[in-house]
Every structure is written in structure tokens, then in C-alpha cells.
Amino acid sequence: VVLVVDFGAQYAQLIARRVREARVYSEIVPSTMPVAEMLAKNPKAIILSGGPSSVYAEGAPRLDRALFEAGVPVFGMCYGFQLMATTLGGTVDNTGAREYGRTPLHVSKAGSTLFEGTPVEQSVWMSHGDACSAAPEGFSVTASTDVVPVAAFENDEKKLYGVQYHPEVLHSTHGQQILEHFLYRGAGIQPSWTTGNVIEEQVAAIRAQVGDKRAICGLSGGVDSAVAAALVQKAIGDQLTCVYVDHGLMRKGETQQVEKDFVAATGARLVVVDAEKRFLDALAGVSDPETKRKIIGREFIRVFEQAQLEILQEEGPEVAFLVQGTLYPDIVESGGGTGTANIKSHHNVGGLPDDIEFQLVEPLRQLFKDEVRMVGQELGLPEEIVQRQPFPGPGLGIRIVGEVTKERLDLLREADAIAREELTAAGLDREIWQCPVVLLADVRSVGVQGDGRTYGHPIVLRPVSSEDAMTADWSRLPYEVLAKISTRITNEVADVNRVVLDVTSKPPGTIEWE
């Protein structure tokens, strides 16, 4: 394992992903972890991330010198670089000379371990206030910028390396190459971490954990639960039962994807609970978005627990495991624990026996989203499931502004299917993050179609680009594609006489309308 020590901000996750792109397994640890504990993980190399602090700020994270003396190769980036410099006796000044953004880097030692084979002049991404003016003893300076005399250094003998900039971001033109040089040349690591290895490893781990007991997995139609279920299915076969609650709020074809394509690809045992009527009854007369969400969430838990109960009754109490599609970013963000948690099922509503405690199986807890997709692909899941864009749990229920009814759902499903079809045909799926299609059910406007006046509903297109859904911008889709979607929806979907485009970023608008 390569450890990425997290000094805050968002850099560590990106670095960890880049290391994995170099086919080396990486894990993130907090900078507060004692060095002895880091070393106990037996890392082949350690990377120190950037962070928001100045090394001179009060309470700024520090590092025990022992980290640099353990014989483990270390690569410091940005804040990690400055920390390495000050800890080992170099000089970092608060010069007031700041560099932000794209910066020309002058490589002074072209044959160095990190820079070998890369251009003497390259563009890098900087973000710092303090600057290193003297490298620690035993280090040679390998690059500078117009502002910073020491922008990179290395001590090949001790296997210690550092750069002032952020090699992990794409704006640093040779960043990945430099990271790979550290891993392969500096630390002597072989690139061997592949999707195939992940599957093999996880299958073995699941078998060891579950033994001859039984497991349940809730499928949502999303990527994570599908890949988690497929992995567990591969490991324990028919000891797994998948449960899919059809709440009637899915998009066109999605329930069939789970019922047919997922089962065909994995051979999993699937219980489909048709709960459409139950959900629609519960939603009748409700227009308030938060109330809708609460009702859908509550009904979902009730139905899922009822299904669990039936499986328990049928198969006996040895159903001890619940599969969840938790991803690595969730784990890191919630503090990075490595143990397996037990959860008590919410037995207050579903009538599960009091003493049922499921143990969680989380086969994706080491993976990033793009890695999950690769694993899914390798397991043979259909493209439509593996490349699926984010879709909210409450489904189309929160894309109908107004009361949710069967007729309105059917209408929205048609409009949504057309939009998706045309976006796919135009090759835009990878460009947009997601494109909610929203029905303004309580709004009517006048139109004219054929010879007659119409009084129909507007459909809103909400295509957005985003990195993580926290912020988003509206996608500048080609006019021809928008025109085609508009024409088709107004022609093919009864009761819709207008298509409008949402041109709001997030903030101030959220991605969904409710």
C-alpha cells in the first residue's frame, strides 16, 4: 500500500486516485495519525498531500521527523513539500510572494528521478503563499519558478522527494508522469493493482466473511448497489438474495434493467416487490417536496423490511448479512474507519424480531466511483447500469412539481425517455453530469397544435455539468440537440405543449427542482 497523508482540503482523494491510476493501491490516512501507526501499515511509500494551512500558522499540522527516517520513500506535494523542507532543516519563508494557478516551471536537473524524460520547461498548477528558499542538507534542487527558487528537490539516497506544486491536477502537464516516476523509480514499486485483482481479492474476502450464511442486498437500480450485488453474487452465489422495491417512480425501462438485464448478467436470485400502488396511495394529494421525500423514504423502509422479514421466515435466521454499496469517499469523509460496522435494522416499523442484527458486507469500501464502474464492467454488467448517471432515491416523485399521479408519471417517463435517447444519440452522455427532466404539473400555458388551441404543461430540461454534485453549472448543449428534444417531446407526449431550458447554476439553484 501507498499511504496518502491528508493535510486537509480536497487534495488527498485526488492524489489517491492518481496513484491508483498508476496501478498502485493507495489509502488515505489523516495527518493526525501517529507516525508509528502509519509505519505499522507497512507502506511501500508515503505521499504528503497539500493543505490549506501555512506551515507557520498556529496549530498547523506537523509531522514527526521519524517519518523521514524510517527508510520509506516519501513524496511531499505543496504543503507536504514545505513541511518536509522545514522538518528536515530547509528554509521556508513567508515572503508574501504568492503563486496561484498555472505557472511555468523551470527544471534545472533534467535527469533527476522525478523529472527524467520530461521537458525542461513545463506548466504546473501552484497554490501557495509561503516559499522554500533553501533545500535541506543533502537535497539537490531540481526545479524553480520565476518566484520560487526551490520549487522541487530530491534526496535520492534517502528516497525523499518534493514539489511545491500540485502534480495531481490535470493542469500540471506532466504531473502523472512525475508521480509515476516517484512510485516506480523512486520507490521501486511494480504497477500491479488492477480491476481483476480487486475482484479476486474481494471475492475471497466476502467468502471468508459470510461463510455458509446468507446475505440480502437491496438493489436501487443505481451503479453502486448493482456492482456490490454482482460481486457478492460471484463470491457466494445463491446464498445471496437481492431485493428490488419497485416504487413506481423509476424512469422508463429502469425496472426492466434490474429485473432482466441485471439478473441475466449475474444470475442473482431477485425478489421484486411491486409497491407502486402503495407509494401512489401514500403520495395522493401531496405537493410539498419535503413531505413527498419523507413519505417515499418511510414507505421504502417499510416495504424493504417487510421483504426482509419474509426472506427471514423462509430461509431461517441465518440471514445474517446485509450488502451495501458504500464507496471509499464515504468512508474517508466519515473518518476513515477500517472495521466493519453492525447496524440494527429499523425494526420499529417492519416487525422484524428485536434481536436481528445484520452484519454489513461492503465490498466497494476501498473503491472510487470510476473504479466501481470498471469493476462492474469486468463483471459483465450491462453498459446502461454501469454508466448510469446519478438518479435520486425518490425518483420521479421529486421531478413532478405538484401532486404525483400515475398519469403524470407516465407522461414524465415518456418525455424523460426522449431526452435521454437524444442526448445519448448526440454522444453527450459523458459531457453532462445528469439531466433531470421535470414536469410542471401545476402550470398550464396556451399553445397551438394542428388547428386547435391547447392548454398543456411545460417540461423543463435541466442538463448540468458537475464534478461532485455539490456545485454545478448548466450545460451549454448544442441548439440542434435541444431543438430535436423539444420537437419530439411536444409531438410525442400528449398534454405537453412547451419545453423550457433551465439556465441556472448551483448555487443558487439545486440540481433537482424539489
User: Where is the binding site for ATP, in residues?
Assistant: 220-226
Spatial separation of the C-alpha atoms in residues 508 and 486, rounded to whole Å = 26
End-to-end CA distance of the chain: 43
Query: Which regions of 256-325 does DSSP assign to beta strands (E)?
Result: 269-274, 319-323
Given the complex with ligand XMP, which of 248 and 394 has the nearer CB atom? 394
Closest approach, Cβ 433 to ligand XMP, in A, equals: 7
Taking CB under 6 A as the binding criterion, the range among 114-122, 125-133, 339-347, 392-400 that sits at the site for ligand XMP is 392-400
Cis upstream peptide for 436 (omega within 30°): no
Site for ligand XMP contains 43 (CB under 6 A): no
Number of residues that bind ligand XMP (CB under 6 A): 11
Site for ligand XMP contains 471 (CB under 6 A): no
Q: Which three cell numbers stand for residue 4?
A: 496518502
Given the complex with ligand XMP, which of 350 and 393 has the nearer CB atom? 393
Closest approach, Cβ 454 to ligand XMP, in A, equals: 30
Closest approach, Cβ 466 to ligand XMP, in A, equals: 8
Site for ligand XMP contains 469 (CB under 6 A): yes
Measured CA distances, 164 to 75, 185, 442, 502 (Å): 11, 20, 56, 41
- Quick one: how far is CA 310 from the chain centroid? 33
> Contacting ligand XMP (CB under 6 A), which of 80, 325, 376, 392?
392
> Contacting ligand XMP (CB under 6 A), which of 26, 434, 490, 497?
434
Site for ligand XMP contains 506 (CB under 6 A): yes
Q: Facing residues of 89 across strands?
A: none
The alpha-helical segments, DSSP class H, found in 212-288 are 223-236, 254-256, 263-266, 276-283
Site for ligand XMP contains 511 (CB under 6 A): yes
Spatial separation of the C-alpha atoms in residues 358 and 371, rounded to whole Å = 27
Taking CB under 6 A as the binding criterion, the range among 55-63, 130-138, 261-269, 391-399 that sits at the site for ligand XMP is 391-399
Closest approach, Cβ 502 to ligand XMP, in A, equals: 12
Given the complex with ligand XMP, which of 23 and 293 has the nearer CB atom? 293
Closest approach, Cβ 293 to ligand XMP, in A, equals: 6
Spatial separation of the C-alpha atoms in residues 258 and 290, rounded to whole Å = 28
Spot the catalytic one: 99, 154, 168, 422. 168
DSSP 339-392: SPPEEE--HHHH---TT-EEEEE-TTTT--HHHHHHHHHHTT--HHHHTPPP--
Query: Quick one: how many helices (H) and strands (E) in the chain?
Result: 16, 24
Binders of ligand XMP among residues 257 to 316 (CB under 6 A) are 293
Q: Which three cell numbers stand for residue 507?
A: 448555487
Q: Which residue do the cell numbers 507502506 mark?
A: 43
Closest approach, Cβ 289 to ligand XMP, in A, equals: 10
State the number of CA atoms in the 13 A half-sphere of 319 facing the CB.
Answer: 23
Taking CB under 6 A as the binding criterion, the range among 152-160, 348-356, 363-371, 503-511 that sits at the site for ligand XMP is 503-511
> Contacting ligand XMP (CB under 6 A), which of 394, 397, 456, 458?
394
Closest approach, Cβ 330 to ligand XMP, in A, equals: 12
Spatial separation of the C-alpha atoms in residues 233 and 202, rounded to whole Å = 11
* Residues making up the binding site: 220-226
Asked whether the CA dihedral 126, 130, 131, 132 is positive or negative, the reply is negative
Told to judge if 168 belongs to the known catalytic residues of this protein, a careful annotator would answer yes
Query: Which regions of 371-451 does DSSP assign to beta strands (E)?
Result: 400-401, 437-440, 445-449
Spot the catalytic one: 128, 166, 247, 457. 166
164's CB contacts (< 8 A; 6+ apart) are 78, 81, 82, 126, 128, 131, 132, 145, 148, 150, 151, 152
Given the complex with ligand XMP, which of 392 and 456 has the nearer CB atom? 392
Told to judge if 78 belongs to the known catalytic residues of this protein, a careful annotator would answer yes
> Contacting ligand XMP (CB under 6 A), which of 10, 94, 491, 510?
510
Residues catalogued as catalytic: 78, 166, 168
User: Site residues (CB under 6 A) for ligand XMP?
Assistant: 293, 390, 392-394, 434, 469, 506, 510-512
